[in-house]
Amino acid sequence: MSSADGPLVVGVDSSTQSTKALVVDAATGAVVASGQAPHTVSAGQGRESDPEQWWTALREALRQCGEAAHRASAVSVGGQQHGLVTLDAAGRPVRPALLWNDVRSAPQARRLIDEMGGPKAWAERVGSVPGASFTVTKWAWLAEHEPDAVRATAAVRLPHDYLTQRLTGDGTTDRGDASGTGWWASATESYDDDILARVGLDPALLPRVVRPGEVAGTVHASGELPFSKGTLVAAGTGDNAAAALGLGLRPGTPVLSLGTSGTVYAVSRHRPADPTGTVAGFADARGDWLPLACTLNCTLAVDRVAALLGLDREAVEPGGDITLLPYLDGERTPDLPNASGLLHGLRHDTTGGQLLQAAYDGAVHALLGALGLVLDADADLSVPLLLIGGGARGTAWQQTVRRLSGRAVQVPEARELVALGAAAQAAGLLTGEDPAAVARRWGTAQGPVLDPVEQDAAALARISGVLSDAAPLLDRGPR
């Protein structure tokens, strides 16, 4: 923590597992106070959280920030994407939120794709081919399985929208998070009336989309918060778009994020439309685009394998021809929502460390397979791959990404990039700057660069072969 040279801003990261708040000096990017509080998430195929917990966690995180939060001039919220929050007429949650990693809506996703003209039509219209993660499929699932909840719903929000509304009293969102719903069309940058009609969602239930750089509102009078009355509230955005802001990302620089989910993305000036569905054609929080591929199984899945083996997560060993596809929660990339983990090539001489390394390889393989689709065709492949997220500082993760990518890897020293990106967005309200330029001024992407090593093409080919052969089995799910 440090003293402040300029006005203070608050950046919030409301993630799957917890809410973090940073009070940041808008002049230097120095973090002067921080706080964090946990959430609970249901287990199994259905992943849900009570939005009231997010609000309670935000209040606690801000309380831990002390007087610094009270002195802040602006605040912004970055939040987990895709989650379906349904509110009644009094603004209370109708039911727990359906989270991004709730895959129960896979049948609805497939039906919607067919009913609206197939994958290519969706990609051209919306920018993405919806899978079970997308909010539109979750609303379709809710309408089919819980019609009483749908009838009681007076407002539909995303997780970051919900917290922003609790701050301001107004229903708003931003183009970055809206682009992950499946009912915001990237071709027109507006809600798509045909898709909304198809799933029976009244557009009047949706939040207003705030433009980049626009003030979403001010903190309304409430004894629950440490902010001064009238503190500016930025639009906020989804977690990946916030992290892109936090890195000050320029077009063509690839990011690989290792967290509960794994993501690979880059800023682009071209609107993406991948008919295979591998790349989601998200908007960013500035006015550009953020083509992104996401996996459901990353650090938690590998840690689970380590725990089953009774090994430390760093206790990997080289060698062997074992393949482990760690699809413990179903998978989004590749699109196998019913899948479970699969092990192939186990021998008498296979060691626990080799098995653990195979879990790392399986998790990274899916992300690297999408990297070429995320980047523009003219991208400079010598640019280091930015490695962020909870796993980024793990030696085993770093070495696996280097070995399978064959690229230089840079690990930014700044932590909590989602919260820092939200803080940069809040700072932009005060200074009139592009939030990404604010983050570059703060130097958030600076960090050591690990030189490239020879790509392990044999391992990539082996994993791809097993995945191809096993895809029909994985698609059926466990029986």
Transcribe 116-148 into DSSP letters.
Answer: TT-HHHHHHHHSS---TTSHHHHHHHHHHH-HH
How confident is the model at residue 476, as a pLDDT?
82
CB 276 within 8 A of CB 289: no
The C-alpha angle 398, 401, 406, rounded to 5 degrees, equals 120
Mean pLDDT for the stretch of residues 69-74: 96
d(CA 156, CA 175): 16
pLDDT for residue 2 is more than 80: no
Residues 6+ apart with CB under 8 A from 332: 131, 132, 133, 261, 294, 295, 296
The C-alpha atoms of residue 197 and residue 143 are separated, in whole angstroms, by 13
Residues classed as catalytic: 239
Is the pLDDT reported for residue 58 higher than 80? Answer: yes
Average pLDDT over residues 217-229: 84
Q: How confident is the model at residue 221 (pLDDT cuts 50, 70, 90)?
A: low
The pLDDT of 106-123, averaged and rounded, is 96
Beta bridge partners of 387: 256
pLDDT of residue 28: 96
Does pLDDT of 479 surpass 90? no
What per-residue confidence (pLDDT) applies to 477?
67
Task: Quickly state the pLDDT bin for 222 (edges 50, 70, 90).
Answer: low
pLDDT at residue number 224: 82
Compute the average pLDDT of residues 304-332: 95
Q: What is the predicted pLDDT for the residue at 4?
A: 63
Task: Judge whether 380 and 340 are in contact, CB under 8 Å.
Answer: no
pLDDT band at 1 (very low <50, low <70, confident <90, very high): very low
Mean pLDDT over the full length of the chain: 94
pLDDT tens, position by position, 200-217? 999 999 999 999 999 999
| pLDDT tens-digit map of 331-363 | 988 989 889 999 999 999 999 999 999 999 999
pLDDT digits (tens, 9 = 90+) for 442-476: 999 999 999 999 999 999 999 999 999 999 999 88
| Distance of alpha carbon 72 from the chain centroid | 26
What's the pLDDT score for residue 377?
82
Dist. CA 461–CA 421, nearest whole Å: 37
Work out the pLDDT band at 260, boundaries 50, 70, 90.
confident
pLDDT (tens digit per residue) in 132-148:
999 999 999 999 999 99
| Lowest model confidence (mean pLDDT) among 117-126, 174-183, 220-229, 409-418 | 220-229
Query: For a pLDDT cut of 70, what percent of the chain falls above it?
Result: 98
Question: What integer is the mean pLDDT of 356-372?
Answer: 94
What pLDDT does 452 receive?
Answer: 96
Average pLDDT on 41-57 reads: 92
Q: Which two tokens stand for residue 242?
A: 């916030």
Q: Radius of gyration of the chain from Cα atoms? A: 21
